[in-house]
Amino acid sequence: MWFLNIIYYVVPFIVLLAILVFVHEFGHFIVARLLGVKVSAFSIGFGKELWGFDDKHGTHWKISAVPLGGYCQFLGDGDASSSTSGGLKDLSEEEKKHAFAFQSPYKKLMIALAGPGFNYLLAILIYFAFFAVLGKFTIPPVIGELMEGGAAAEAGLEKGDRILTINGQNIADFSDISKEVMMAADQKVFLTLKRGDDILEYHITLTELDDPKSDGQPKKRYMLGVRSVGSVEISHQRLSVLEALKASTLEVWDVTETTLRGVWQMITGKRSSEDVGGVIRIAEMTGDISKTHNLTDFVLFLALLSINLGLINLFPIPILDGGHVLICILEIMIGHEIKEKAKEYLFKAGFLVLLALMVFATSNDIVHLVRRLFNH
């Protein structure tokens, strides 16, 4: 059993994280090299080096023991966070021309934005490939979970039931369920569903439940009380190149907007901070997908995480790319470089903020995992 869990949870998680980290750091790497900045090291993972080699440009490529991230270290950097503490004093004048610390703020800005930009580019390419080659994907109207006390559970609906119609209207996507339920008169619905080879009919009176989309405010509304299975179906309705490009860009924008709205709701207290998750939660979700779904769902989950990784790295926290971006913009605005000592203090403060967020997210993950194990 433990061996299967390693296969289902650990291995897919490491593969997924390695892809995301490589794409992110390669964005920094390729833009830096194009702008004449030397990259000293490119690492997937942290800690002790397991394997590595040097390329003809002097970059040391390596895989390290702790597979929970990675970094792109530039000439003159004192550490993986691009801190210059102790890393510049021994550089020659010629080397300084290729060191990150001595570049213009415009070049630094482009290099800092390249990592998150490549994460967004990966997501767009994944969605584009789906839309142009395979077709549109939808969340099928299949019941994955019944909400406790909900009308569906009381009526005898079961996990795996596929809802075909509600009040005579065809249901093609899971989102269609809430649309038709909201239009139901007298809080009653007549639905048909498929269970195995059988077509069944139900007359259901809706019940009031807490609205999960009420922005954190206490609110009830009449609902059927079902959740989706979380997987997708391909409609094989292929889009043209331009249509696929537009649809993939809009999909990435929608995910970004939804994520930012959720973050703002947690900051303002309208949404529970229990939703903040870290690597344990990601590993758990990755394992669940690898066990119960298929490669399509895994790749789409990769696109979703790539967007989130790019977005999080744009947050204006020193030590993250967003912190570098903020510093570069400030230097452009004031017309001169911020003192190195001030940057060091900012990076240290950013590290403490990031560490606190990681501890908080990990504690949430542990509580969530314990609850899941206990409920099972």
Residue 365 phi, psi dihedral angles, 5° rounding? -60, -40
Sign of CA dihedral 363, 322, 85, 41: positive
Residue 137 phi, psi dihedral angles, 5° rounding? -115, 145
Sign of CA dihedral 34, 36, 42, 47: negative
Return d(Cα 114, Cα 34) in angstroms, integer: 12
Please report, in angstroms and rounded to a whole number, the separation of the first and last CA atoms in the chain: 16
Return d(Cα 151, Cα 49) in angstroms, integer: 56
Which amino acids are annotated catalytic? 25
Count of beta carbons in the 10 Å neighbourhood of residue 83: 18
Q: Which amino acid is at 130?
A: F
Q: Which of 92, 144, 93, 126 is nearest to 23 (CA)?
A: 126
Q: Which amino acid is at 374?
A: F
> Which residues in 17-108 belong to E strands, given as ranges?
39-54, 60-74
Return d(Cα 354, Cα 234) in angstroms, integer: 39
Return d(Cα 229, Cα 250) in angstroms, integer: 24
